Amino acid sequence: MKEIRSRYCSDLLTKRNMAVILILYVESMDEAIADLSAIGEADIDRCIEDGSLVIECDAHSLIGSSGFNFHRYIRHLQTQARLRGKEGLGIVLDVSSLLLMDALDELLKFESEISPKSRSDLEYSSLLCCYNGLLLTS
């Protein structure tokens, strides 16, 4: 999963001229940066510095926080990406935490709330949800 996710992020950053928010559950920031750097297509430090790449390392807290408007946050990042000349925002989300909590209904609801297809104000965004396949077979 990490390699696929990293290649997808790198493709968004380099070939599709998009900003990326990578929302992780298990990995640390350093692990994510190492995985992305191993692909070798994008200067990850520069992407973080210029705001093209945002890495959030606690998907569960970000998603589950009642005092945080995640949709507004994503909309803000999309707007900032467009102002920086990007085509849009790629949302890459590890949703394993919701699977571990046995919260499939919550997961589906969350995905639909930030899906660009169901939200016209996210028209310049794309969404990729990553799951650990081992969790689905348990």
pLDDT digits (tens, 9 = 90+) for 99-136: 665 666 766 666 666 666 667 788 888 888 777 655 55
- What's the rounded Cα separation, in Å, for the pair 128 and 92? 5
| DSSP code of residue 101 | T
- Going from the C-alpha of 96 to that of each of 13, 35, 52, 78, 128, the distances in angstroms are 24, 18, 24, 24, 13
Please indicate whether residue 103 or residue 21 has the higher confidence score (pLDDT): 21
Residues with Cβ < 8 Å from 73, sequence gap 6 or more?
A: none
Q: What fold is seen in the domain 2-136?
A: Rossmann fold (3.40.50)
Q: How confident is the model at residue 32 (pLDDT cuts 50, 70, 90)?
A: very high
- What confidence score (pLDDT) does residue 103 get? 61
Report the 10 Å Cβ neighbour count for 86. 21
pLDDT, tens digit, 9 for 90 and up, residues 40-61: 899 999 999 999 999 998 776 7
- What confidence score (pLDDT) does residue 129 get? 76
Q: Write down the pTM of the prediction.
A: 0.83
- What's the rounded Cα separation, in Å, for the pair 32 and 38? 10
